[in-house]
């Protein structure tokens, strides 16, 4: 799915992710490309090396899920940037087996948000939390294979790229609603939903992206 970029939509977005085996990183990069196709200026970064959220107008946070929790690297980044994240639009996603569960038990379980993820969602006041299916290999343990069969979990690459693309459309529309049209370098104003970039931040922004085009 592609769409024509909207010039009024040139806001700055930071996509921060924590990936265990690479599938979450690939989803994050694909999501970033979809957002760029919709006119947004997007930077992607691993959580361990990500820049300050205060440098950007919007944040999209994502992580693989292990034992019902986001990876420690993303939790650490959120802790370090909590105040900035609370003052700008944030979208949160996780990558795990939940969205791919089938059958009566699986369908019930996948509607549940793990408590730790719910706490993170509420802590950053995320506008939306989206669980996404990832890549899941068959475990070596017979007991675990039987358990996963019981709850209806398939194996393989379960990622749904069309769903990620559609979510990018939702995020881009949400950014337009949450923020005023951007004029780069942006003005310094404050609001409940975001902080405009000042001149110093603009220079740092230019170092990250290259000098942005003007319209």
* CATH code for the domain in which residue 74 is found: 3.40.50.360
197's tokens: 């970039």
What pLDDT does residue 211 have?
40
Residue 213 belongs to a domain: no
Q: Select the more confidently predicted residue: 181 or 186.
A: 181
Give the pLDDT score at 181. Answer: 61
What average pLDDT does the chain have? 79
* Residue 2: how many other CB atoms lie within 10 Å: 10
- Stretch 205-215: mean pLDDT, rounded? 44
Higher pLDDT, 109 or 177: 177
Q: Where are the beta strands (DSSP E) in 36-193?
A: 41-46, 58-66, 69-70, 90-96, 128-133, 135-136, 156-157
Task: State the Cα–Cα distance between residues 194 and 89, nearest whole angstrom.
Answer: 7
Domain hosting 16: range is: 8-202
- For 136, what's the count of Cα atoms within 13 Å in the CB-facing half-sphere? 23
pLDDT band at 123 (very low <50, low <70, confident <90, very high): very high
Segment (H or E) for 2? none
**Which of the 8 DSSP states describes residue 190?**
B
For residue 206 the two structure tokens come to 């230019």
pLDDT band, very low/low/confident/very high, at 141 (cuts 50, 70, 90) = confident
Is 193 within the bounds of a domain?
yes
pLDDT at 150: 64
Q: What is the rounded average pLDDT of the residues 184-188?
A: 40
Judge whether 214 lies within some domain: no
More confident residue, 67 or 140: 67
Of the pLDDT bands very low, low, confident and very high (cuts 50, 70, 90), residue 200 is very low
Phi, psi of 148 (to 5 degrees): -70, -35
Quick check: 50 pLDDT over 50? yes
Q: What is the pLDDT of residue 142?
A: 74
| Helix, strand and coil percent figures for the chain, each rounded to 5 | 45, 20, 35
Give the Cβ contact number of residue 34 at 10 Å.
Answer: 23
How many domains does one find in the chain? Answer: 1
Which element (helix H / strand E) includes 206? helix 199-209
17, containing H or E segment: strand 12-18
Residue 207 lies in a domain: no
Least confident of 77-86, 165-174, 180-189: 180-189
Of residues 65 and 140, the one with the higher pLDDT is 65
Q: For residues 65-89, give the mean pLDDT.
A: 95
Identify which has the larger pLDDT, 97 or 169. 169
CA–CA distances in Å: residue 13 to residues 21, 60, 146, 151, 194: 24, 7, 42, 37, 12
């Amino acid at each position: 799915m592609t769409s024509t970029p909207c010039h009024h939509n040139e806001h700055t977005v930071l996509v921060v992710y924590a990936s265990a085996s690479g599938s979450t990183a690939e989803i994050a990069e694909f999501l970033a490309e979809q957002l760029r196709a919709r006119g947004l200026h997007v930077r992607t970064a691993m959580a361990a090396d990500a820049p300050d959220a205060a440098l950007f107008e919007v944040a999209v946070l994502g992580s693989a899920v292990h034992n019902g929790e986001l990876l420690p690297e993303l939790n650490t980044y959120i802790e370090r940037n909590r105040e900035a994240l609370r003052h700008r639009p944030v979208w949160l996603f996780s990558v795990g087996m939940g969205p791919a569960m089938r059958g009566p038990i699986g369908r019930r379980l996948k509607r549940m948000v793990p408590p730790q993820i719910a706490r993170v969602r509420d802590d950053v006041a995320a506008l939306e939390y989206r669980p996404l299916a990832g890549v899941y290999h068959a475990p070596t343990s017979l007991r675990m294979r039987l358990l996963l069969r019981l709850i209806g979990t398939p194996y393989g690459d379960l990622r749904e790229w069309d769903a990620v693309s559609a979510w990018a459309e939702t995020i881009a529309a949400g950014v337009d609603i949450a923020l005023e049209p951007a004029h780069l370098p942006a003005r310094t104003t404050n609001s409940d939903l975001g902080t405009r970039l000042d001149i110093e931040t603009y220079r740092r922004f230019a170092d990250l992206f290259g000098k942005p085009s003007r319209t």
